[in-house]
Amino acid sequence: MSDHPRSGTQAIDRALGVLRVFEGADGDLGITALASACGLSISTTHRLVKALTTAGLVSQDPVTERYHLGASLVTLGRRAEARLGIDRWTSVLEGLAARTGESASLGTRIGAHVLIAAHVPSAQPLRFDAGTGNRVPIHASAMGKMLLALADDPAGEIASLEPMERFTRRTLTDPAELLANLEAIRERGWSLNDGERHEGVRAIAVAIPEERGVTASAIAVQGPALRLTDERLDTIVANLFAAVA
């Protein structure tokens, strides 16, 4: 690891990497933990954190000297939510969850992942919860596969994802198999994740038309495979299309 200052794209990527560590953190983090998570030296991490602190994107607890996300991100997050119409879509998801009895989510694409931007859990005790803010690999997500299917060059998109991680025995990691699946999705207009991320969990997704205000996004219904049976697929799909309409 190098302690020499870096500039340009690499510095930005590293700073963003530091911020992303906080996404999965249970509490405040020290410099050593951040450096380890980012694969950077302590001195480099300290410089990055100092810059992020100056910008208000990260804050330090004066007692523990550990760091957490800063207040400036609250303003940025609220502006992003307003631009994406998250409040409006949350009410749509609430209706979808009520009608289907299952959890409902909105995801937007960020590179090779789908970011869960909004989530409404099922009222049933046995349910699948995809917490808001989580990132899901795009090839193992119903929403992700829906968005890949609508890309201008699905084959090229798949090539950029290789090698694809296998999560269950059903995960589509073979490029030809995934491409065939995407072609079927594009033709019918909806996507099915059949235990490809978690065993025993199914998800059905449709894309949100761009004129509805959210670019490269989709909504999905997720739940246990024992309830999301093949016999219910048509009804779930109809509810999803009604929601985006």
Question: Among 56, 23, 18, which Cα is nearest to 34's?
Answer: 18
| Confidence class for position 8, pLDDT limits 50, 70, 90 | low
Task: Count CA atoms closer than 13 A to 57's CA, side-chain side.
Answer: 14
Is residue 63 domain-resident? yes
Is residue 1 domain-resident? no
pTM for the structure as a whole: 0.76
Q: 182-198: per-residue pLDDT in tens?
A: 999 999 999 999 999 99
Picking from 45, 70, 95, the residue at the C-terminal end of a domain is 70
From the DSSP assignment, how many helices (H) and strands (E) are in the chain?
9, 8
Strand partners, 206: 219
Both 146 and 218 in one domain: the answer is yes
Both 83 and 63 in one domain: the answer is no
Both 93 and 187 in one domain: the answer is yes
Is residue 3 domain-resident? no
* Rounded-to-integer distance, Cα 239 and Cα 235, Å: 6
Both 145 and 53 in one domain: the answer is no
Picking from 70, 95, 115, the residue at the C-terminal end of a domain is 70
CATH of the domain at 28: 1.10.10.10
CATH of the domain at 188: 3.30.450.40
Q: 57-90: per-residue pLDDT in tens?
A: 999 999 999 999 998 888 887 787 777 667 778 8
Segments forming the whole domain that contains residue 185:
78-244
Buried b (16+ CB within 10 A) or exposed e, 209-231: eeebebeebbbbbbbbbeebeee
At 32, give phi and psi (nearest 5°): -60, -45
- To the nearest whole percent, how much of the chain has pLDDT over 70? 93
Strands 217-224 and 58-60: unpaired
Both 101 and 170 in one domain: the answer is yes
Please determine, for residue 165, whether its predicted confidence score (pLDDT) is greater than 70.
Answer: yes
User: Any long-range contacts for 23-31 (C-beta under 8 Å, 24+ apart)?
Assistant: 23/133, 23/135, 27/66, 27/68, 28/61, 28/64, 28/66, 28/67, 28/68, 29/66, 29/67, 29/68, 30/65, 30/66, 30/67, 31/67
| Confidence class for position 102, pLDDT limits 50, 70, 90 | very high
